[in-house]
Amino acid sequence: MQATRPVTLLFALFALLAPALLVPHYLAGTAARTDTDAEIVRFLSDDLPGLAAKRDFSGVVLFARGDTVLFQQAYGLANRRDSTRNQISTRFNLASASKMFTAVAVARLAEEGRLAYDDPIGKYLGSDWVSPEVGRKVLVRHLLNHTSGLGMYWDEWDRYKDRIRTIGDYRQVVSDSLAFEPGARFQYSNTGFILLGAIIEKVTGETYYDFVRRTVLVPCGMESTGFFQHDRPREGFAVGYFRDKDDGGRLKDNLALHGVIGASAGGGWSTASDLHRFLIAMRDDRIVTARTRELLWSPKPPAANYGYGFQIGDAWVGHTGGFPGIEAFIQYYPSSGHTWIVLSNFYDSALPLMKEMRGRLRRLAEQR
């Protein structure tokens, strides 16, 4: 498995969704019919089982409007070795989609005046993390919207992944070399979000995991969400599967690729129901203020489709996640109040469903 593969997968997911959601507004009038909630639920109920069987889709689908879940169903196997089926309660790995939790945690600290978005990261991180030059140039906001110039840390991942159990352990794999001057352009950076986790720990004196749980997950009622060891099968957790193109398309699990536990750049676990609760809590300003929510959910040039820790489409906010054996699509449509979540533990099985749904959801949002 090539070290760059997770990066390629993540961008493939977002690239698939963003262009279609940026279709000019007038094209909505060319649709043969106007979708309604009931029609989408009918499509999901009638057509999704066949699509799931054809593509070997394995995961959970949730469609909601406001607080009301209109459709939720699980498909496929959580563990193919013992034929354990996915359930609505099954926890799925989110890959990069859990960056949203990191961004909200940083926003909480900014609201409390414990850090500022324009602070240089060297205010919090010493030379064991970054050089003095990088510490001066890179600001907190550069990390949040991937304009820092920092990289992805995959080059050293295979060598050290089994030794990484804390945020501090990531010092073994992150590099502070800059590809460009901070703020000059957008370049997705897992290293940047690892540094945000280190800053959270420095400011709070807590572990990243404890602070996120206390300030984000618990207030949202996300009892099934967190960062758990995922280098072995566990009851109630979906094992990820993918076809390895470097090995003749052989079906493999991803347990050896994960590392031991996720961190501030990704790798949290959740259920579709918990993620719906998170989005509703954000809508209702229960974990950050309305002003902060708008700050997180608005594009930050030069990143046209990214805010602070949230991807932004034409009509939705949320995040995708991609890794061998993982697909996560988490989208909230503020104008219509709809939530659309797909979590899958079989890579490339959810994409046809996303292609079908993206136009329907865009039309629903345009009607409001």
Q: What is the mean pLDDT of the chain?
A: 89
pLDDT of residue 262 exceeding 90: yes
Query: Whole-prediction pTM value?
Result: 0.90
Tell me what pLDDT residue 353 has.
80
Q: How confident is the model at residue 221 (pLDDT cuts 50, 70, 90)?
A: very high
Of the ranges 16-20, 125-129, 206-210, 289-293, which one carries the lowest mean pLDDT score? Answer: 16-20
Q: How confident is the model at residue 253 (pLDDT cuts 50, 70, 90)?
A: very high
Task: Give the residue with greater pLDDT, 368 vs 81.
Answer: 81
Tell me what pLDDT residue 281 has.
98
**Among the four given CATH numbers 3.90.45.10, 3.40.710.10, 3.40.50.2300, 3.40.50.80, the one describing domain 5-98+207-367:** 3.40.710.10
Distances from the Cα of 357 to the Cαs of 35, 49, 109, 128, 275, in angstroms?
A: 11, 15, 36, 46, 19
Task: Give the residue with greater pLDDT, 366 vs 294.
Answer: 294
Q: How confident is the model at residue 86 (pLDDT cuts 50, 70, 90)?
A: very high
State mean pLDDT over 224-243: 89
Write out pLDDT tens, residues 54-70: 778 999 999 999 999 99
Tell me what pLDDT residue 363 has.
78
Write out pLDDT tens, residues 146-185: 999 999 998 888 898 899 999 999 999 999 999 999 999 9
Tell me what pLDDT residue 368 has.
62
Domain range summary for the chain, segments of one domain joined by +: 5-98+207-367
